[in-house]
């Protein structure tokens, strides 16, 4: 009976540790980021056959680098995370994981991820990944308490996974990769500001300055979401104009962009958290629809 109890407690400890590491890397966010890298890789003209081994290696390498950046973010922001209801239960903030363990995990995973990208793909993809990791972990993270410019800076590593995937498949940073980068770059503004609108009280308590206006959620912030949603309309046409994809995806992306713009307009008209939540969920749906449409209609 005692042996069974020890085994049960051990399994609970292991399961708890796994859950903590999943929280540390922000698995859902990391998955979405790596998803864009994989699709961008498959969209590269030189990738004509789906090699599932290579796709898996890209996914693993990307997940390790992205997860490492998120781990650094949580180690650095452990005190502010502890102040906010939505982040107080994160492993480092709650004290379930030490700072030393968090740093060790971050260093091991980023090194492993960069080695995978450099070995199985090319040095260029590893360099772009390293730049993305550094900007997110050591520039964007501390800037969040200084200025709302942090959102602009953070959009760079948020969009660089498209260039990582493109570089992995194409061996260069050509026009197609930059088009994908632009789509994901501008998409982040209405997406992130909707999240910041919903979590404004928590963010303010922690000292984060993430809304485009010092007044926080308001007409100006809603107008900014509309502007960046509108910018996505001409940017979304570029894959067709550059010969990346065909007419079917062209119309799907136009429709998706109009829908995103409409949700931002509704936010301006209603000025309520539920409207911001609609923008957030619409943005979550938008990106996979656009990327999968481009892949399905690849020329």
**Residue 101 clears pLDDT 50, i.e. is over it:** yes
Given pLDDT bands bounded at 50, 70 and 90, which one contains residue 107? very high
- At 85 the three-state DSSP class reads coil
Average the pLDDT over 285-295 and give the result: 97
Q: What integer best gives the mean pLDDT of the chain? A: 93
The position carrying tokens 């930059």 is: 178
Phi-psi region for residue 207, left (φ > 0), alpha (ψ -120 to 50) or beta? left
Buried b (16+ CB within 10 A) or exposed e, 156-189: bbbbbbbbbbbbbbbeeeeebbbbbbbbbbbbbb
Integer Cα distance of 255 and 43 in angstroms: 21
| pLDDT value at 74 more than 80 | yes
Q: What is the reported pLDDT for 205?
A: 83
**Tokens read off for 106:** 């971050």
Structure confidence at residue 171 (pLDDT): 96
Domain boundaries 1-171, corresponding CATH code: 1.10.357.140
Other residues' Cβ atoms within 10 Å of the Cβ of residue 45: 14
Give the residue range(s) of CATH 1.20.120 domains in the chain: 174-299
Class of domain 174-299 (CATH, top level): mainly alpha
Compute the distance between CA of residue 134 and CA of residue 137 in angstroms, rounded to an integer. Answer: 5
pLDDT at 4 over 80: no
pLDDT in tens, 135-194: 999 999 899 888 889 999 999 999 999 999 999 999 999 999 999 999 999 999 999 999
200 vs 126 pLDDT, higher one: 126
Q: What is the mean pLDDT of residues 217-242?
A: 95
Question: What is the arithmetic mean of pLDDT over 199-223?
Answer: 87
Quote the pTM value: 0.92
With contact defined as beta carbons under 8 Å apart, do 3 and 69 qualify? Answer: no
Start-end of CATH 1.10.357.140 domains in the chain: 1-171
């Amino acid at each position: 009976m005692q042996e069974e109890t020890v085994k049960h407690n051990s399994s609970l400890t292991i399961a708890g540790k796994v859950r903590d590491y999943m929280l540390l890397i922000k698995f859902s966010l990391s998955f979405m980021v790596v998803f864009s890298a994989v699709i961008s890789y498959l969209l590269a003209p030189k990738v004509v056959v789906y090699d599932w081994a290579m796709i898996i290696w890209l996914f693993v390498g990307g997940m390790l680098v992205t997860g490492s950046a998120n781990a650094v973010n949580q180690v650095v922001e452990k005190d502010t995370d502890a102040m906010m209801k939505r982040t107080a239960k994160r492993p480092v903030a709650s004290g379930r994981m030490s700072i030393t363990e968090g740093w060790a995990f971050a260093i091991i995973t980023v090194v492993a991820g960069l080695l995978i990208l450099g070995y199985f793909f090319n040095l260029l993809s590893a360099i772009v990944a390293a730049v993305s990791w550094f900007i997110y972990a050591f520039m964007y993270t501390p800037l969040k308490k200084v200025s709302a410019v942090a959102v602009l800076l953070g959009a760079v590593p948020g969009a660089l996974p498209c260039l990582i995937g493109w570089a992995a498949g194409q061996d260069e940073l050509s026009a197609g990769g930059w088009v994908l980068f632009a789509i994901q770059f501008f998409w982040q503004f209405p997406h992130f500001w909707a999240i910041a609108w919903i979590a404004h009280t928590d963010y303010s308590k922690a000292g984060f300055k993430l809304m485009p206006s010092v007044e926080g959620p308001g007409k100006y912030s809603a107008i900014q979401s509309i502007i960046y949603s509108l910018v996505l309309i001409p940017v979304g046409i570029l894959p067709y104009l550059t010969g990346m994809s065909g007419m079917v995806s062209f119309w799907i992306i136009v429709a998706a962009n109009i829908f995103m713009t409409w949700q931002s307009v509704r936010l301006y008209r209603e000025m309520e958290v539920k409207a911001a939540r609609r923008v957030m969920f619409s943005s979550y749906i938008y990106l996979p629809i656009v990327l999968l449409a481009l892949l399905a209609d690849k020329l």
